[in-house]
Amino acid sequence: MSSSTVQELKKEKYDRFKEALKLEKPDVTPVMLSGEPFFMKYAEPSAKISDLVNRPLWAYEKVIEGIQKLSGVDVYAGLIGSYIQVSGAMFLTKMKLPGRELPEDALFQYDEVGLMTVEDYDTIIDKGWNAFYSDFVVRRLGYKPEEFEKSKELLAAMMPKVEEAGINLLSGAASGMLFDAVCMGRGMSNFMKDLHRMPDKILEVFDAAMAEMTDDLKKQLDEAKPFITAVIPANHASNDFISRKMFEKFAWPMYKTFADIAIDRGSNVYFHMDSRWDDNLDFFLDFPKGRCIFDLDGATDIYKVKKVLGGRMCITGDVSPSSLALGTPEDVYNYSTKLIRDIGPEGFILSSGCSIPPNAKPENVEAMVAAVRG
């Protein structure tokens, strides 16, 4: 395929995605996927997950080949060029890596060691988030400063290859991980107790951190002007962990602030909503029509989301990892078709529930992509 054809196809795919975001009906339902281990193995079945750690340039080139081979991916929501060795830093966790602490073909894991103390809360309040973070991840979690440099180099090396391959990446900016980071840094059990024992201090911590994070986000948006900004409530503020009342007090203000900043600057917001959010959906009615995407992993009732947020924001989801790993192509095709009919066709993007798992059957992922064309 010539490079001009590749770029034309890329634009066609992104236009489809943009139409869905604006709650219009594209020519076919767009497909948005992620899952580097799956796509690497889809291109090269002998690859091991440890290749993403030990020879990332090679491994990410295989990821790109995998995405091209599947061909029906309109937007890729994963991280092509993530230096996995340091990816736990943003959540204040250590990493367990395949080929190091884990078997060669095991999925890498965030290791919630919970090293953060109550004294660290005071440090954040007194000195700010950035001063705390840069010290904590190096001195306490043991990440090496040079690894963060390697992380930037890897990303810079991969981006031209992604562009050349005609792959649309979802997001150029990300924010919103504060609640999860403090929860995982402190350790879930301690943090949940802190929310009850010292609620005012937790709010002070969030206020201090948000002052810097919002400035950082504004700079990031002014420089990159991304079409999409990812805001990632992810897990720990969901209904599986805290009540609606606690969500409203501790978590909602930060998501609302991040999203408002992005929208005010002309960007659109992608909410990555892992876990169950059924009781908090109405909060998200606060945002303007056709400016947000609500991405579900299967734990939230997507039909309830359609009822509450349909016609307001684009909904993405939610073919379950379980069905991709254990089901048949017929199961996956039928569920995908049902989603397109019931949740779409306007304002809907077909996706897996969070990332495609590494052990998804290729024929199941192919069936999912085939479903959009009937």
Q: Is 326 in the site for other proteins (CB under 8 A)?
A: yes
Nearer to other proteins, 120 or 274 (CB): 274
DSSP H or E stretch at residue 10: helix 3-21
Q: Which of residues 331-360 bind other proteins (CB under 8 A)?
A: 353-354, 357-360
274 makes contact with other proteins (CB under 8 A)? yes
Is residue 176 a contact point for other proteins (CB under 8 A)? no
Contact 18, 25 (CB under 8 A): no
Q: Cα(357)–Cα(324) distance, rounded to whole angstroms?
A: 8
The residues near 182 (Cβ < 8 Å, ≥ 6 apart) are 92, 116, 191, 202, 205, 206, 209
**x/- binding map, residues 285-314, to other proteins, per CB under 8 A?**
------------xxx---------------
- Give the shortest CB-65-to-other proteins separation in angstroms: 22
Measured CA distances, 226 to 173, 174, 186, 229, 350 (Å) = 7, 10, 32, 7, 22
Give the binding-site size for other proteins (rule: CB under 8 A): 24
Q: Which is nearer to other proteins, 107 or 203 (CB)?
A: 107
Smallest gap, in angstroms, from Cβ of residue 278 to other proteins?
10
Min dist. Cβ of residue 36 to other proteins (A): 14
Query: Which residues on adjacent β-strands are paired with residue 351?
Result: 32, 318
Distance (Å, whole) CA 98 – CA 119: 33
Among 220, 275, 337, 364, binds other proteins (CB under 8 A): 275
User: What residues contact residue 103 under an 8 Å CB cut-off, 6+ apart?
Assistant: none
- In terms of CB distance, is 220 or 364 closer to other proteins? 364
Q: Do the Cβ atoms of 172 and 226 come closer than 8 Å?
A: yes
The nearer residue to other proteins, 130 or 359, going by C-beta atoms, is: 359
Give the binding site for other proteins (CB under 8 A). 106-107, 239-240, 274-276, 297-299, 320-327, 353-354, 357-360
